[in-house]
């Protein structure tokens, strides 16, 4: 009798637990931009991971670029969205929309490149550009700009560059690369936002001289011989954070089980993407469909299958061009979020001193991620804070080290910087300390997105 009672009691308990954990909202709309790093969202849909979590998800391709994503996330049209890492930070600060948006997880590392027109590359070659160098520096571009300014004098016409959004990783990477060689982006060039799929046509039309964007919009130009991708995001900062999954903080609070279910499905997709190159090939075919990225399989394959096309007909080995799960790529590090804030200060996008630690802890959600990760078997780092630029597979092209405990010094120690807030003002509100811990380089999920098979720990 006791066994029967226990069995019945356990059954009731499990049913109650299941009901309590059920998603509050099952019919969801998630926005994305046509880029290869939307893959975790698309795969979560196509491989049935959302359905496994009891969700009915509509994946909506946004035609209005990143501003459209931001507007529709803030308005509530999108429940969750594919987003640039800087977007939820900027919205929470009230400088790109006004709403407390949160970054639930990181969707990937790396994934971008800077592509230049053949005309500009020819000019740079006159000043010593070596296209085979890794990483390519901006020194030849600096020399060309200096010569152009001397020749044109007061009639100097700056070179025009494109990126995807003022608070995009692409903007900060383009500026970082230029500034590392002494170029002043706000004086020596013009940098304007364009929706990612329009970059190739703007370059070909001569509206811009180069651009920073995610794939496949570099390869579309390079494969046609109409430009060259001189440097990748990985070349600028190895294994740097790229996109996040964002949502409104009030929506997350109201729908905690729905949010965890979405995160679980996306995280499963990220692990699946790095499990094997065969899975990547399947993902490439799915992404090529018109309702997703709408690009030829051969173009998508150039960056998602362990290579990258820097110049036409030359595939360079680059297994870490896209990393979705390995090396803690899905984990929303506070220190990664704060790095983006340092760039906002560096380039004058924030005009008042704020406590960077408090802001990032309001936006990034490693606490929620850790709950979800344990349920799906995703490995966790020891801390949400780490240094960057100190490990073999995590370096900056200029050799600098990013230490969140020296965040204010970091902003003002660059030779080229253009802040609107003084160092003294910013230091007054940032006198905190955090405990940083360095993660080991590991690939727990498979060989895709891994530096070397020797790091793969999955049996």
Dump pLDDT digits (tens) for 208-256.
999 999 999 999 999 999 999 999 999 999 999 999 999 999 999 999 9
Name which of 325, 343, 284 is nearest 84 in CA terms.
343
In a domain, 225, yes or no: no
Dump pLDDT digits (tens) for 343-363.
999 999 999 999 999 999 999
SS3 364: strand
- Measured between alpha carbons, how far is 298 from 284 in angstroms, rounded to an integer? 9
SS3 115: strand
Tokens of 431: 């006198």
Residue 292 has pLDDT above 90, yes or no: yes
Dump pLDDT digits (tens) for 264-279.
999 999 999 999 999 9
- Measured between alpha carbons, how far is 243 from 84 in angstroms, rounded to an integer? 5
In a domain, 213, yes or no: no
- Measured between alpha carbons, how far is 439 from 391 in angstroms, rounded to an integer? 9
- Measured between alpha carbons, how far is 52 from 370 in angstroms, rounded to an integer? 20
- Measured between alpha carbons, how far is 279 from 445 in angstroms, rounded to an integer? 12
Dump pLDDT digits (tens) for 296-338.
999 999 999 999 999 887 779 999 999 999 999 999 999 999 9
In a domain, 418, yes or no: no
**CATH number of the domain within which 298 lies:** 3.40.190.10
In a domain, 278, yes or no: yes
Which residue has 């092209």 as its token pair? 397
- Measured between alpha carbons, how far is 218 from 220 in angstroms, rounded to an integer? 5
Q: How far is CA 145 from the centre of its chain?
A: 29
Tell me which of 25-34, 82-91, 129-138, 397-406 is least confident. Answer: 129-138
In a domain, 52, yes or no: yes
In a domain, 253, yes or no: yes
Q: Hey, how many other C-beta atoms are within 10 angstroms of the C-beta on 281?
A: 15
Q: Are 328 and 320 in contact (CB under 8 A)?
A: no
- Measured between alpha carbons, how far is 277 from 200 in angstroms, rounded to an integer? 28
In a domain, 330, yes or no: yes
- Measured between alpha carbons, how far is 404 from 89 in angstroms, rounded to an integer? 16
H/E element holding 227? strand 227-232
Per-residue CA distances from 49 to 39, 108, 207, 377, 435 (Å):
13, 18, 42, 15, 35
SS3 236: helix
Tokens of 169: 């990783």
- Measured between alpha carbons, how far is 174 from 262 in angstroms, rounded to an integer? 32
User: Global pTM?
Assistant: 0.94
- Measured between alpha carbons, how far is 19 from 166 in angstroms, rounded to an integer? 43
- Number of independent structural domains in the chain: 1
Q: Helices H, strands E: what count in the chain? A: 21, 14
- Measured between alpha carbons, how far is 326 from 333 in angstroms, rounded to an integer? 14
pLDDT average, residue stretch 161-182 = 98
- Phi, psi of 145, deg, nearest 5: -60, -45
Tokens of 217: 């919009």
- Measured between alpha carbons, how far is 385 from 395 in angstroms, rounded to an integer? 16
Positive or negative torsion for Cα 177, 230, 316, 458: positive
pLDDT at res. 135: 92
Q: Hey, how many other C-beta atoms are within 10 angstroms of the C-beta on 76?
A: 13
**Where is pLDDT greater, at 391 or 7?**
391
Q: Hey, how many other C-beta atoms are within 10 angstroms of the C-beta on 411?
A: 21
Task: Give me the domain span that covers residue 34.
Answer: 27-110+242-308+323-388+423-455
In the sheet with 210-214, reading across from the earlier edge strand, the strands are 189-193, 159-163, 210-214, 112-117, 227-232
In a domain, 191, yes or no: no
Name which of 61, 97, 95, 96 is nearest 78 in CA terms.
61
SS3 193: strand
The percentage of residues in the chain with a pLDDT greater than 70, rounded to a whole number, is 95
Q: Are 315 and 365 in contact (CB under 8 A)?
A: no
Q: How far is CA 449 from the centre of its chain?
A: 15
Residue 7 has pLDDT above 60, yes or no: no
């Amino acid at each position: 009798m006791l066994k029967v009672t226990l069995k019945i009691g356990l059954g009731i308990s499990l049913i109650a637990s299941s009901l309590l954990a059920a998603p509050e909202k099952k019919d969801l709309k998630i926005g994305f931009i046509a880029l290869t790093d939307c893959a975790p969202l698309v795969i979560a849909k196509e491989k049935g991971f959302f359905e496994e979590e009891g969700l009915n998800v509509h994946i909506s391709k946004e035609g209005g670029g990143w501003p459209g994503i931001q507007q529709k996330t803030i308005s509530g049209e999108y429940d969750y969205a594919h987003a640039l890492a800087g977007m939820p930070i900027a919205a929470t600060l009230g400088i790109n929309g006004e709403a407390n948006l949160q970054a639930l997880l990181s969707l990937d590392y790396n994934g971008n490149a800077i592509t230049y027109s053949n005309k500009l590359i020819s000019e740079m070659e006159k000043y010593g550009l070596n296209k085979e160098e890794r990483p390519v520096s901006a020194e030849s571009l600096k020399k060309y700009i200096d010569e152009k300014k001397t020749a044109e004098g007061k009639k100097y016409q700056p070179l025009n560059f494109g990126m995807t959004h003022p608070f995009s990783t692409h903007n900060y990477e383009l500026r970082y690369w230029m500034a590392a060689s002494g170029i002043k982006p706000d004086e020596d060039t013009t940098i304007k936002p364009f929706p990612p799929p329009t970059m190739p046509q703007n370059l070909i039309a001569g509206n811009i001289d180069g651009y920073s964007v995610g794939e496949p919009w570099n390869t579309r130009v390079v494969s046609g011989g109409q430009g060259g991708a001189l440097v990748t995001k990985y070349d600028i900062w190895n294994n740097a954070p790229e996109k996040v999954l964002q949502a409104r903080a009030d929506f997350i609070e109201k729908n905690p089980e729905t949010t965890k279910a979405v995160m679980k499905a996306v995280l499963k997709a990220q692990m699946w993407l790095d499990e094997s190159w065969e899975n990547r090939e399947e993902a490439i075919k799915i992404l090529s469909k018109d309702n997703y990225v709408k690009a030829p399989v051969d173009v998508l394959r150039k960056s998602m299958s362990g290579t990258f096309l820097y110049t036409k007909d030359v595939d360079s080995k680059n297994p870490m061009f896209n990393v979705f799960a390995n090396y803690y790529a899905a984990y929303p590090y506070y220190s990664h979020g704060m790095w983006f804030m340092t760039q906002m200060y560096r380039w004058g996008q924030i005009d008042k001193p704020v406590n960077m630690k408090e802001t990032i802890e309001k936006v990034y959600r490693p606490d929620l991620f850790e709950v979800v990760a344990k349920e799906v078997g995703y490995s966790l780092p020891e801390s949400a804070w780490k240094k960057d630029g100190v490990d073999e597979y995590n370096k900056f092209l200029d050799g600098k080290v990013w230490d969140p405990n020296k965040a204010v010094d970091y902003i003002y120690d660059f030779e080229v910087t253009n802040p609107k807030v003084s160092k003294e003002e910013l230091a007054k509100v940032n006198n905190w300390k955090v405990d940083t811990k360095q993660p080991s380089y590991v690939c727990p999920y498979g060989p895709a997105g891994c530096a070397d098979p020797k790091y793969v720990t999955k049996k």
